[in-house]
């Protein structure tokens, strides 16, 4: 991924969605990751590549599914506790959201932060960032939106962003997509980006029974399967691949030892596939690992955050103990 850049939030409606140079860099990085991921055993491709424009739109569809509880549960927590979150966060002037997507839940937090000047969403999808910037500026008079296009797990700077108290926001339990080591590194990077005396609000999915957990990642309507299989479609489009998406299946499993959902694309037959001129042979039942979603208890996540330099302030959970919002401060 190329270095993130600050975009004008006032881009015209017909502005190009991706600059050619950055697009070429993205495809080159995608190609390198896919070739190396398919060459190793077990095969794997990093989950961030699921979120092209089509993948991001499909994930928005997932968040509206009855089976997918995290989005509506987190939204209800923000609606119920927004004022309390704002009061404990301090005089926040700058809100920084990691992996912002469509930023639809963020409006609830912006409403609660009465002295907010600037919102900085960070996401790999420029199309979603531009759309969200326009919508939020129309909804919140006087709000400056400064999108950053880039991978939120990598170090960034907030050049050009006004000084003032900062609040980080990492919603949707996206932190669960990271391994514990990656999550620790991300929390350390976020502390450096947000700076001294900053606060951080993180949505974390809680451990729960499998009859609730599995359907959230393998819905009856097949929307999550379409989201997973879109990765193969993206390979075909951007990397001259010849995957037959009807010969792979979306699989969601729970790994109890690691406390996480694991997502795979499983080959339904013996087959050969080409990507960028290289051939990869699959046996029936062989899988490509594409994503994890770690689940935490409240103490487990607090320990992880403390080890990365954050001090827990307060935790909010729903009555069914499905989801949690953790407010933390720089230690």
Q: Are residues 309 and 276 in the same domain?
A: no
Domain extent at residue 92: 69-208+295-330
Distance, CA of 212 to CA of 322 (rounded, Å): 9
pLDDT by residue for the chain (331 residues), tens only, comes to 233 333 333 333 344 444 688 788 889 999 999 999 999 999 999 999 998 889 989 999 999 999 999 999 999 999 999 999 999 999 999 999 998 766 678 899 999 999 999 999 888 777 778 888 888 888 888 899 888 887 777 766 776 666 668 999 999 899 999 999 999 999 999 999 898 889 999 999 999 999 999 999 999 999 999 999 999 999 999 999 999 999 999 999 999 999 999 999 999 999 999 999 999 999 999 999 999 999 999 999 999 999 999 999 999 999 999 999 999 999 7
| 13: in domain | no
Angle, CA of 17, 18 and 23, to the nearest 5°: 155
Q: Are residues 190 and 287 in the same domain?
A: no
| 242: in domain | yes
Question: Cα-flanking dihedrals φ and ψ of residue 129, to 5°?
Answer: -65, -45
Q: Are residues 82 and 158 in the same domain?
A: yes
Q: Are residues 130 and 270 in the same domain?
A: no
| 63: in domain | no
Q: Are residues 303 and 157 in the same domain?
A: yes
Question: Cα-flanking dihedrals φ and ψ of residue 302, to 5°?
Answer: -65, -40
Q: Are residues 133 and 201 in the same domain?
A: yes
| 140: in domain | yes
Residue 238, C-beta contacts closer than 8 angstroms, at least 6 positions apart: 27, 30, 31
| 247: in domain | yes
List the CATH number of the domain containing 114.
3.40.50.150
Going from the C-alpha of 273 to that of each of 30, 228, 265, the distances in angstroms are 17, 17, 14
Among all chains, which residue has been given the structure tokens 């990093």? 46
Going from the C-alpha of 296 to that of each of 67, 73, 261, 270, 304, the distances in angstroms are 19, 16, 12, 37, 10
35 exposure class (CB count in 10 Å sphere: 0-12, 13-18, 19+): middle
When divided into structural domains, the chain yields a total of: 2
Q: Are residues 301 and 312 in the same domain?
A: yes
Q: How many other C-beta atoms can be found within 10 angstroms of the C-beta atom of residue 268?
A: 13
Q: Are residues 92 and 164 in the same domain?
A: yes
Residue 39: predicted pLDDT: 98
């Amino acid at each position: 991924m190329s270095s993130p850049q600050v975009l004008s939030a006032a881009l015209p409606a017909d502005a190009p969605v991706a600059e050619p140079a950055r697009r070429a860099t993205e495809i080159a990085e995608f190609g390198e990751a896919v070739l190396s991921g398919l060459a190793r055993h077990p095969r794997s491709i990093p989950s961030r590549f699921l979120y092209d424009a089509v993948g991001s739109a499909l994930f928005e569809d997932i968040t509206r599914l009855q089976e997918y509880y995290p989005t509506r549960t987190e939204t209800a927590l923000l609606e119920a506790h927004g004022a309390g979150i704002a009061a404990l966060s301090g005089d926040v002037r700058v809100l920084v959201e990691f992996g912002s997507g469509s930023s639809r839940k963020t409006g609830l937090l912006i409403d609660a932060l009465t002295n907010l000047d600037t919102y900085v969403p960070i996401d790999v999808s420029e199309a979603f960032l531009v759309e969200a910037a326009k919508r939020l500026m129309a909804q919140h008079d006087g709000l400056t939106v400064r999108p950053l296009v880039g991978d939120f797990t990598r170090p960034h700077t907030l050049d050009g962003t006004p000084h003032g108290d900062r609040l980080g926001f990492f919603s949707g339990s996206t932190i669960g997509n990271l391994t514990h080591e990656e999550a620790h590194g991300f929390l350390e990077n976020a502390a450096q980006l947000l700076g001294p005396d900053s606060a951080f609000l993180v949505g974390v999915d809680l451990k729960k029974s499998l009859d609730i957990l599995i359907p959230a990642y393998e819905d009856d309507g097949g929307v999550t399967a379409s989201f997973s299989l879109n990765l193969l479609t993206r390979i075909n489009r951007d990397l001259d691949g010849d995957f037959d998406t009807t010969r792979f299946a979306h699989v969601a499993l729970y790994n109890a030892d690691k406390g996480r959902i694991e997502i795979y694309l499983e080959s339904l037959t013996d087959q050969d596939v080409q990507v960028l001129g290289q051939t990869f042979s699959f046996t029936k039942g062989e899988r490509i690992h594409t994503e994890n979603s770690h689940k935490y208890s409240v103490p487990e996540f607090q320990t992880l955050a403390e080890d990365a330099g954050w001090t827990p302030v307060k935790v909010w959970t729903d009555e069914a103990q499905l989801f949690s919002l953790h407010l933390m401060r720089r230690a």
